[in-house]
């Protein structure tokens, strides 16, 4: 592909990134329930459904990464009295811009030649993981930024190690040492999986430490200082105490909250992991990696002729794949930090028989790469559970913003609704699963998450809600396909529909009706 075409495609991805950053798709509940569902309740007074990681006796998630990344955006949104959905999309845009700047800058500085830089940034920018996942508010998205930043800094140390000593400035090494320590600590408090991405690059760092023996001292000091700040902040928030009280007995270690340790202990228990899903040990390598990299895998592993197997980005990605494959719970999003790392290592010469030539397979693979990522960008960035967020915004604008009560929502065959988007600041809403839906409500509004329950149980919940209080308004929120397949339209009023919604969990290719797009809100008459 000519340089002009590379540049044209790259500029097009700018618009695509912005478009998908404000797309309504909903990839996984954690993007809400481990970020805004928590922050909006703790700091802005919203009535929400707090997940176990933030509400258990031994909290397993740190507030610090959330405060650093999202609190300023939410504070500005509060200042300008923006709606929850406006706040959400501004935060998404901010995360997209942060990822864009940090990742592209690190790739540009880390790679030695202009062609290498163009290649890495081009493939990273055209990946659907970058377009979609990096603008969704996952802890994995923050992890990607920190991983790339750390890999870049370790690679800088590696470069300085091969530089004549008289050209190396101690201040540069000291700065890198301090920054690596802070970044590593912040990364661990964000996700305990973070060290996996530094497993093999650590040996490069260790070699540097043997040359500059004061380097690990600075890194350790920076790591400890950052960790102490995170522990203190988490303790103040979770224990709801002041700093003056904490300082009265600072060496009473039992009073502190160590969220990474709690997370590690929890996830070390196989029984705990089984509640979230157990996967075969080959899932990351044989299933998740091909879904992430698609045709790009040919540029990495064709005949194992790749020239980049000893580079720092490749070592980081491979080390993470190996370490994370020993954990029996393996979701695709756990691997998203490997995308920019592996894009650095695409070897476009693996098919070349003669230097300087561009064989047909290279052009074919590059075109396949673009098609693969465009299709998945639209699928995951626009349609995947795309009606959930707009539906919550509908309830917020038409009921909660007007302080109307007596509303029951029953969500069926959707991901769990992130109820912070309702903007309930009067604590008027209770949140129930289907098992607890058959008892009188304690608050005027109710949200029932029926998940993928059998139709008969959902119908029973609708009947019970109507019998308890005939005056309340009862809404069924479900995919259009499921509504038409199971419910009697004469008993409902179609209140609202959103066309760009796809429920991948309940497709039945033997029934064309199940393939219909859309999410609807239907009021029980």
Q: How much is the pLDDT for 468? A: 85
Residues 6+ apart with CB under 8 A from 149: 102, 106, 183
Q: For residue 130, what is the DSSP state?
A: H
Residues 6+ apart with CB under 8 A from 295: 365, 368, 369, 372
What six digits make up the tokens of 94?
């901010």
Q: In what order do the strands lie in the sheet with 445-449?
A: 429-433, 445-449, 407-411, 473-479, 519-524, 492-498
Q: How much is the pLDDT for 5? A: 77
pTM, two decimals, is: 0.95
Residues 274, 279, 285, 291: is their CA dihedral positive or negative? Answer: negative
Domains along the sequence of the chain with CATH: 3-243+259-383 (no CATH), 388-524 (3.40.50)
Q: How much is the pLDDT for 4? A: 52
User: For 164-185, what is the mean pLDDT?
Assistant: 94
- pLDDT band at 141; cut points 50, 70, 90: very high
Residues 6+ apart with CB under 8 A from 177: 212, 215, 216, 218, 219, 222
Q: How much is the pLDDT for 358? A: 62
Per-chain mean pLDDT for the chain: 93
What six digits make up the tokens of 364?
């074919």
User: For 13-42, what is the mean pLDDT?
Assistant: 95
Residues 6+ apart with CB under 8 A from 491: 524, 525
- pLDDT band at 165; cut points 50, 70, 90: confident
Burial class (CB in 10 A: 0-12, 13-18, 19+), 8: exposed
- pLDDT band at 355; cut points 50, 70, 90: low
The C-alpha atoms of residue 524 and residue 54 are separated, in whole angstroms, by 35
The C-alpha atoms of residue 23 and residue 383 are separated, in whole angstroms, by 9
Residues 6+ apart with CB under 8 A from 424: 46, 47, 48, 400, 445
The C-alpha atoms of residue 218 and residue 224 are separated, in whole angstroms, by 10
The C-alpha atoms of residue 23 and residue 98 are separated, in whole angstroms, by 18
Tell me the per-residue pLDDT of 357-412, one tens digit each, with 9 for 90 and over: 567 788 899 999 999 999 999 999 999 999 999 999 999 999 999 988 899 999 99
Does pLDDT of 1 surpass 80?
no
Residues 6+ apart with CB under 8 A from 67: 39, 233
Q: Maximum CA pair distance of the chain? A: 84
Tell me the per-residue pLDDT of 74-106, one tens digit each, with 9 for 90 and over: 899 989 999 999 999 999 999 999 999 999 999
Percent helix, strand, coil in the chain, to 5, is 60, 5, 30
Q: Are 37 and 155 in contact (CB under 8 A)?
A: no
- pLDDT band at 69; cut points 50, 70, 90: very high
- pLDDT band at 513; cut points 50, 70, 90: confident
Higher pLDDT, 86 or 302: 86
Does pLDDT of 275 surpass 70?
yes
Nearest to 331 by CA among 198, 449, 191, 453: 191
């Amino acid at each position: 592909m000519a340089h002009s075409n590379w540049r044209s495609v790259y500029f097009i991805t700018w618009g695509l990134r912005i478009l998908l950053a404000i797309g309504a798709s909903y990839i996984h509940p954690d993007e809400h329930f481990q970020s805004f569902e928590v922050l909006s309740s703790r700091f802005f007074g919203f009535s929400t459904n707090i997940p176990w990681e933030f509400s258990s006796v031994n909290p397993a998630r740190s507030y610090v990464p959330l405060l650093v990344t999202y609190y300023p955006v939410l504070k500005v949104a509060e200042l300008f009295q923006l709606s929850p959905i406006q706040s959400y999309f501004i935060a998404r845009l901010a995360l997209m811009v942060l990822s864009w700047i940090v990742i592209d800058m690190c790739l540009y500085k880390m790679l030695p030649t202009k062609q290498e830089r163009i290649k890495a940034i081009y493939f990273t920018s055209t990946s659907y993981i970058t377009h979609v996942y990096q603008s969704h508010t996952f802890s994995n998205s923050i992890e990607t930024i920190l991983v790339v930043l750390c890999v870049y800094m370790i690679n800088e140390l590696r470069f300085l190690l091969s530089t004549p000593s008289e050209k190396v400035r101690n201040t540069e090494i000291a700065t890198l040492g301090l920054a690596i320590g802070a970044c590593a600590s912040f990364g661990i408090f964000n996700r305990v999986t973070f060290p996996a991405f530094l497993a093999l690059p650590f040996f490069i760092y260790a070699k540097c430490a043997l040359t500059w023996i004061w380097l690990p001292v600075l890194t350790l000091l920076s790591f400890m200082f950052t960790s102490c700040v995170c522990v203190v902040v988490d303790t103040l928030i979770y224990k709801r105490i002041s700093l003056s009280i904490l300082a009265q007995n600072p060496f009473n270690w039992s009073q502190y909250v160590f969220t990474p340790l709690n997370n590690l202990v929890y996830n070390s228990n196989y029984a705990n992991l089984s509640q979230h899903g157990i996967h075969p040990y080959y899932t990351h390598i044989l299933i998740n990696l091909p879904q992430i990299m698609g045709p790009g895998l040919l540029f990495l592993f064709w005949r194992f002729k790749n020239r980049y197997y000893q580079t720092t980005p490749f070592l980081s990605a491979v080390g993470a794949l190996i370490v994370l494959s020993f954990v029996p719970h393996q979701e695709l999003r756990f691997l998203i930090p490997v995308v920019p790392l592996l894009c650095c290592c695409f070897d476009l010469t693996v098919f070349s028989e003669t230097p300087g030539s561009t064989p047909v397979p290279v052009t074919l693979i590059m075109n396949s790469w673009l098609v693969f990522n465009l299709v998945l960008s639209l699928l995951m960035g626009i349609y995947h559970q795309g009606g959930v967020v707009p539906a919550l915004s509908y309830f917020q604008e038409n009921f909660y913003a007007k302080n109307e009560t007596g509303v029951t929502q029953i969500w069926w065959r959707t991901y769990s609704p992130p109820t912070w988007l309702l903007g309930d600041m009067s604590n008027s809403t209770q949140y129930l699963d289907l098992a607890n839906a058959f008892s009188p409500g304690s608050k005027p509004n109710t949200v029932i998450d029926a998940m993928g329950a059998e139709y008969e149980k959902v119908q029973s919940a609708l009947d019970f809600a109507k019998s308890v209080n005939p005056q309340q308004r009862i809404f069924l929120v479900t995919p259009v396909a499921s509504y038409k397949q199971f419910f009697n339209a004469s008993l409902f009023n179609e209140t609202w529909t959103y066309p760009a919604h796809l429920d991948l969990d309940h497709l039945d290719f033997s029934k064309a009706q199940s393939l219909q797009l859309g999410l609807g809100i239907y009021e029980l008459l």
